[in-house]
Structure 1
Amino acid sequence: MPMVKPRVAVLLAAYNGMRWIEQQLASIQAQHQVDVTIFISVDLSSDDTQAWCEGYARQHSNAQVLASPGRLGGAGRNFFRLFRDVDISPFDFIALSDQDDLWHPDKLQRATEYLLFSEPQAYSSNVTAFWPDGRRRLLDKAQPQVAWDHLFEAAGPGCTYVLAAPLASAFKVHLCAHWDAAQAITLHDWFIYAFARSHGYGWYIDSRPGLDYRQHPHNQVGANVGLKSLLQRLSRIRDGWWFGQVALISQLIGRPWAVLPGNGNLSRRTLLALFSYATQCRRRRRDQWMFRLACLLATFTAGYEG
């Protein structure tokens, strides 16, 4: 008797994706030892992505394209729309997909096998970034998790996320209950990781890369490498965006850092306290030093009081 393959719903968020989406879909269809159904949501695009995807779905019985949502304005809102509108109840696992990567054939098999035979309810992995000029670089996100890292960073790129059904369903309920406020969250992968960790769901970060992570000028969030990337991130700290996202996510998951002063509010006093807790706020040593710098920049430039 053949073994029943895990049923995986792949939620794919697309926007102006005509250059890459066919290759991405081919890599999803080539997954080993899983039963895949692909759900595609296309943010209002200026190319033919919506029409092309609808044609693709007519030719592939395991692909569905959601009705056009109009202009959503970002990948985060597009993934939230997918969680809200797709019936995930028939599936064993939920995986997230960008439109422009290349999945390794065993990506979902490796993730689902790990989740089937271990305690964690969520899986993510390292990725190999690649550029049009042929450069390739491993992006290592698999450092040991620390007490509060989920409040300050994601578990790696969201395109590597695979969630077991109980966690995915719980997140969907929570998201829908906080729908309006969640629209201000830019990074869906950070929010999902924060929800999972803060609600007691174990999370495994695999050191083995499961996909090739395409880098191009239109990435909403790309590889964190190079001086340009560093300056962009420092700018977002100085203008208050990054810690604003920290505060919003903390509030929405109902788990403010109560051990720190200020009752979870981002005051100067809280930021200075966070400076001393850097090793519990980011996983990687280099990022812990950057976190200390972020706390100092926010303390003196972002207009926090108290």
Structure 2
Amino acid sequence: MPQETHPAIEVVMAVHNGADWLEQQVATIAAQTHRPSRLLVLNDGSSDGSGALLEQLEAAYGGWLQQLMPVPPGQPRGCVMSFAELLAATTAPYVALADQDDLWDPTKLANSLEMLLAAEARAARSGKPQPLLVHSDARLIDAFGQPLYASWWQRQGLAPPPRDLWHLAARNRVMGCTALLNRALLEAGLPIPHQAVLHDWWLALVAQRAHGLLQMPQATLSYRFHGANLSQPARWWQWPQRGWAVWRQWCALRQRFGDPQQPGDLWRLVRRRLRG
């Protein structure tokens, strides 16, 4: 198909002190076989050279890369609020989430869109738009681009896909940087509530509730593992706090869609979280 007949995709990216890898990542997004119509970026309080680099990239890509109003240096709001603002500013029928430091495979968007369009065609028979999110596995590389692990899912001990909504509610199993979602999901998931633990987790829950969480078995990008994004396991004294956050997110999901809360929901969620 000619490029102009392709459905429009926008990519959103929150940036915080990402100057070391940002230019490489933007280049892999621009080089997609299904090139997105726009890369929308929010500089979330960076104190390194990210701001100046983004201005250079904005000029170099001739308006294809666009910035929202940056957050003042040293005052980051965090990824949830940043991505919430970015997603609210999109207009395309399909939107992909991007980290600042990964390397996308050239066919990442094309392959994800193919799966999503097929699911939309199936859903169209019911006559009602279905919220959909496609996600995938990822390879892991180090700060210098050297391979670490062939599969993020295997390294994290995940058993994808989620067995049900409770399984996903207890533990996030979706890497947002691999995700492509449709407008129906944005309409259902936005605004992202303040109780959301992570923006990608929230969107995945909304998709799973609608039976619209789709999974590609192959890796579609190389996820850069470095000192700034290494997650530390929770200490025992942090368990109640993290558990409470998961519970509040679950309650927000129930409230968003008017689902009745059951007396045993809390213990059911705790059991699922302990099982992993």
> Aligning the two structures, in what range does the TM-score lie when normalised by the shorter sequence?
0.7 to 0.9
CA 1:217–1:37 in 2, change beyond 3 Å: closer, same or farther? Answer: same
Residue identity opposite 2:85 in structure 1: R
Mapped partners of 2:222, 2:236: distance in 1: 28
Contact 1:194–1:249 at 8 Å: present in 2 too?
Answer: no
Give the residue type in structure 2 aligned to 1:188: H
1:215 maps to 225
Identity %: 26
**2:152 paired residue among 139, 147, 157:** 139
Based on CA coordinates, which of the two structures has the bigger radius of gyration?
Answer: 1
2:215 aligns with: 205
> What 5-or-longer segments of structure 1 have no aligned partner?
223-228, 282-290, 295-306
**Equivalent pairs, count:** 252
2:206 alignment partner in structure 1? 195
**Ranges in structure 2 where 5+ consecutive residues have no aligned partner:** 121-130
Q: How far did 1:103 drift? A: 0.4
- The structural deviation recorded for 1:115 is 0.6
**Is 1:233 aligned to residue 234 of structure 2?**
yes
Q: Greater CA deviation, 251-260 or 139-148?
A: 251-260
How has the CA–CA distance of structure 1 residues 236 and 113 changed in structure 2, closer, same or farther, with 3 Å as cutoff? farther
Aligned equivalent of 1:6: 7
How far, CA to CA, are the matches of 2:237 and 2:180 in structure 1? 28
Partner amino acid, structure 2, of 1:122: L
- Are 2:64 and 1:62 aligned? yes
Given the alignment, which residue of 72, 75, 80 partners 1:76?
80
Which whole-Å CA distance do the structure 2 matches of 1:161 and 1:257 have between them? 29
8 Å contact from structure 2 (residues 97, 176) kept in 1: yes
Give, in angstroms, the shift of residue 49 of structure 1.
0.9
Give the 3 Å change call, closer, same or farther, for CA 214–257 of structure 1 in structure 2.
Answer: farther
**TM, length-normalised to structure 1:** 0.74
- 1:134-283 matches, within 5 Å, as 134-137=146-149, 138-140=151-153, 143-147=160-164, 148-172=166-190, 174-175=191-192, 178=193, 182=194, 184-198=195-209, 200-219=210-229, 222=231, 229=232, 232-235=233-236, 237-238=238-239, 240-254=240-254, 258=261, 261=264, 264=265, 266=266, 270=267, 274-275=270-271, 278=272
Return the alpha-carbon distance in structure 1 between the equivalents of residues 132 and 200 of structure 2. 15
Distance (Å, rounded) in 2 between the aligned partners of 1:189 and 1:241: 20
Question: How far apart, CA to CA, are the structure 2 residues paired with 1:158 and 1:142?
Answer: 17
In structure 2, C-alpha distance between the alignment counterparts of 1:196 and 1:5, rounded to whole Å: 24
- Is the counterpart of residue 15 in structure 1 residue 20 in structure 2? no
- Aligned equivalents of 1:145, 1:65: Cα separation in 2: 35
On the 8 A contact 2:132/2:212 being kept in 1, the answer is yes
Report the Cα offset of residue 50 of structure 1. 1.7
Structure 2 counterpart SS, 1:68: coil
| Contact preservation (8 Å) 2:16, 2:76 | no
Find the aligned partners of 2:222 and 2:148 in 1 and give their Cα distance: 9
TM-score by length of 2: 0.82
